[in-house]
Structure 1
């Protein structure tokens, strides 16, 4: 599994197709946090929101790097579709972790903040919520599920709008709304961690659904 993740990470790195979501994320963080002096709860909520579309983009891009024939060879070498799918999720998570590291540090450079352990933990949890949600959307809107990418793009946009605007329903919307008005990271940490567990379940469900569809098409 480690070798498979390393292979996929290298393929995406050499393709340079990670650059667009990376530059989009850095640009959004710079715009949203430049000269910011407010509480880090709201700042990290903005950073997490910026990570959401970028994680979708990275996941879809990673799955779309190889054509059907090449992916079939990778599946045979790996031993199963599930191993390849899990390696894909692991690779997407690694790229999201790199973006998350930048998302934790850049607001401290662009604005005036005092970082505490609770702020750091909250920033990680908030970004993981959006990363897991984005990866789940990316999986169900990938070429593994949709052969016509035009339909996949429309669905991805609809799902992004739903998770961002679904008041009281979407964990992402609940988290962003709560953090924008919260003033203390320690108080916001427990409910954010609960939402993180929910989004981890969403990602697991997206993996299971994608695997079922992939096996049926195989």
Structure 2
């Protein structure tokens, strides 16, 4: 698994497919979190939203690094275990998002005027991790393994992202953002944010299983 993650990191760095989603993340952070004040939760909702979009795009890019013949070679090299290759790509996306999460936690503090508590940081961490996991889940489901024509995969990803962001009350993303924008006490957000995080883990597991099922039938 570690060797596969290193291979995926090396490939994505060589192809520079990480640049566009990373630049988008930085641009959204600069627009959404500059010169803020008051409760930290809305600022962290903005950084989590930026990470959500970035993680979706980054995961689709990671899943599309290898064309079918190259993927077949990677699977054989991994001992004929396509699920291991898929999990390695997911692990690479998650590790990349963890790096961005540090920036997402600290950048609003640098650019704004906030009173920071440990609880605020925990809520921000939960929110960003939730959005990263959902973004990865959408990226996996809309990847080349499921949609051979990338245009269809892009349309599906946009639809899922828009639905997760804007369908009122939709857990975990829209529901989480609604809570963070309407609740000023960070301690009251800890438990609901934890529930949304648990839901995102379940969704990622379901989407991964669905992707592996479709890819397995095709391969």
Which residues of 2 match residues 1-218 of structure 1 at below 5 A?
1-79=1-79, 80-218=81-219
Mapped to 2, the partners of 1:145 and 1:59 lie a distance apart of 13
Distance, in Å, in 2 between the alignment partners of 1:23 and 1:150 is 22
Instruction: Work out the CA distance in 1 between the residues paired with 2:39 and 2:117.
Output: 11
Instruction: Could you tell me which runs of 5 or more consecutive residues in structure 2 were left unpaired when the two chains were aligned.
Output: none
Please identify runs of 4+ aligned residues in structure 1 that moved more than 6 A: none
1:179-199, Cα deviation, whole Å (9 max, x unpaired): 011112111011100110011
Contact 2:55–2:139 (8 Å) recurs in 1: yes
TM-score, normalisation: structure 1: 0.97
Deviation for aligned residue 1:170? 2.7
8 Å CA contact retained: 2:55, 2:135: yes
Specify the SS of the correspondent of 1:39: coil
Count of matched residue positions in the alignment of Structure 1 and Structure 2 = 218
Cα distance between partner residues in 2 of 1:16 and 1:169: 34
Q: Is the 8 A contact 1:162 1:170 kept in 2?
A: no
Task: Quote the Cα distance in structure 1 between the aligned partners of 2:180 and 2:86.
Answer: 33
- Contact 1:42–1:182 (CA under 8 A) maintained in structure 2: no
Distance 2:120 2:18 in 1: 28
Q: What is the CA distance between 1:10 and its match in structure 2?
A: 1.7
